[in-house]
Amino acid sequence: MQNILHQEGEKKLPLLMGILNVTPDSFSDGGNFYDPHTALAHANRLLEDGAHILDIGAESTRPGFEAVSAEDEWARLAPVLNPLLQQGTLVSVDTTKASVARASLKQGVQIINDIWGLQSDSEMPFVIADSAAHVVVMHNALKIDAERDIIADWKRFFDVSLNLAEKAGIAKERLILDPGIGFAKTPAQNIQAIRSLKILKSEYQLPILLGLSRKSMFGHFLGRSVKERLAGTLAANIAGVHEGADILRVHDIREHADAFKMYNLINEGL
């Protein structure tokens, strides 16, 4: 994946990570792709539309989500993972559980996306280290604090995560940072986080994944329902790429592929 992020001699476009939730309760598409056949059809549609990576989650992370057991999470994932991996799809699994990550990696999953940045399950760093996979280390907190200095908290949190990664033996080039838009942040803090991505990249010199698709800040600032947040998402992601984001985790792949093709043409020329 590192080679994809840093292709020599080619115009740089962000990688597009398509969201596939095989859950009954995710905030945007809960229940839509719970059935494995429906999930696989949607996965292939995302790939046809231009997704470079598929991020598959089997436990909702929306506010107030209901936790599921590792066994239930894996039972949702397995029927979808195997066919996609067999066709050579670059797959990320969105999980905080080391046992789910281990089972996924054994199947050939190339990325683990951990919303608690290796800090929730003490076995997670070692599971990642025993593979060749990349890991998305996301910033998170237990609750919203409107007085929190986001940049200072990034450093506090990511220093802990990267220390855990180093002690476990995860090579730096396998790490990707996620600023955690929408996780324990006020709408104003989310905006500050997007505006400060260059600071994050300068501090750690690591690729950045930005996941803000359809999130509640668009409802706050624009008054739009979940299904009406594409325009806001596109604008925020364009700003995010300008600030240094390398990977965009989104629901609407085709629209983002078109937007960034034009963005690149305008910025780099024909």
pLDDT at position 270 is: 64
Q: Which residue has the higher pLDDT, 40 or 23?
A: 40
Q: Which residue has the higher pLDDT, 18 or 4?
A: 18
Residue range 98-139, pLDDT digits in tens:
999 999 999 999 999 999 999 999 999 999 999 999 999 999
Q: Tokens 């799809």 correspond to what residue?
A: 89
* 148 classed as catalytic: no
Question: Within 10 Å of residue 202's Cβ, how many Cβ atoms?
Answer: 9
Take residue 50 and report the two structure tokens written for it: 């231009």
- The residue from 76, 185, 215, 229 that is catalytic is 215
59, pLDDT greater than 60: yes
- pLDDT average, residue stretch 61-68: 69
* 215 classed as catalytic: yes
Determine contact, residues 101/131, Cβ cutoff 8 Å.
Answer: no
Query: CA distances (Å), 5 to each of 13, 68, 144, 225, in order?
Result: 9, 33, 32, 33
Residue range 78-105, pLDDT digits in tens:
999 999 999 999 999 999 999 999 999 9
pLDDT at position 162 is: 98
pLDDT at position 96 is: 97
Query: CA distances (Å), 86 to each of 19, 89, 236, 261, in order?
Result: 19, 8, 34, 29
H helix runs in the chain, sequence order: 2-5, 36-49, 70-86, 98-107, 124-129, 150-168, 187-195, 197-204, 216-222, 230-242, 253-268
- The residue from 185, 214, 229, 249 that is catalytic is 249
Q: How far is residue 66's CA from residue 61's CA, in Å, rounded to a whole number?
A: 8
Residue range 227-266, pLDDT digits in tens:
999 999 999 999 999 999 999 999 999 999 999 999 989 9
Amino acid at 170: I
Q: How far is residue 212's CA from residue 179's CA, in Å, rounded to a whole number?
A: 10
Q: N- to C-terminal Cα distance for the chain?
A: 26
Mean pLDDT computed over every residue of the chain: 92
Determine contact, residues 47/87, Cβ cutoff 8 Å.
Answer: no
Q: Which of 17, 54, 59 is nearest to 211 (CA)?
A: 17
Residue range 187-201, pLDDT digits in tens:
999 999 999 999 999
- pLDDT average, residue stretch 65-74: 86
215, pLDDT greater than 90: yes
pTM metric for this prediction: 0.92
Q: How far is residue 159's CA from residue 223's CA, in Å, rounded to a whole number?
A: 36
Band (27; pLDDT cuts 50, 70, 90): very low
Backbone angles phi, psi at 174, to 5 degrees: -100, 5
